[in-house]
Amino acid sequence: MKKSVLITGAARGIGRACALKFAREGYAVTVGYVRASEQAESLEREIQKMGGECLTVAADMRDRQAVHHMVQLAQAHFGTPDVLVCNAGIAQQKLFQDISEEDWEIMFSVNVGGMYRVIQEALPDMIARGSGSIVTVSSMWGQVGASCEVHYSASKAAVIGMTKALAKELGLSGIRVNCVSPGVIDTEMNAMHGAEVMRELAEETPLNRIGTAEEAADAIYLLASEQARFITGQVLGVNGGFVI
């Protein structure tokens, strides 16, 4: 049986680029998504045209039963995932004093709770097999903080803390856990900043441009692959030098 990967938040942006990257590398791909059904179906067709195998599953990362169902379907179709990419996430810009209890709870329930739920669901079979690679997706703002995005920054910092702790806990089970921390990437999520802000962010980046989803996906694949077999608990910045 070919290797398989389960990617959350895979219908768009970095997740979509990851799905295509892993498919090109011969992996069977399970695409997790929540609302972007048309994009998920389009991605499935694209992977199938490449000669790859793809399963799409709708799952709200805040819903334990939905996450359980997604993992069960992935395992039923392709076996225990060799790689789990925890990419699902949301962002929001607000002054700290305007962040509501609901804003805070939703941010953490998706960005941190979603990662907690999907790893917990996938882990027993990975441990039983004695191998696996988990790659989480944080943000450079989880490393240095972003004004007007305190709840987002805090949630992405938590992703980094979870990654490091899990790497220590799961190493003896043969499971590696690493994190990719993207900078300013050309995705729908970052489009909320507007063209002028994106230009300013590009100018602040030492490489003088914003990154692509494909560049982030390449880093995620690298950490998941055998090329990184002695790497665990690390945070790889894909930010063009914005954070050094």
Active site positions, annotated: 152
Give the integer Cα–Cα distance in Å for 40 and 45.
9
Give the integer Cα–Cα distance in Å for 19 and 68.
20
* E-only strand ranges, 183-242: 235-238
Give the integer Cα–Cα distance in Å for 193 and 202.
12
Give the integer Cα–Cα distance in Å for 219 and 89.
18
Give the integer Cα–Cα distance in Å for 151 and 153.
5
DSSP codes joined into one string, 120-162: HHHHHHHHHHT-EEEEEE--HHHHH--TT-HHHHHHHHHHHHH
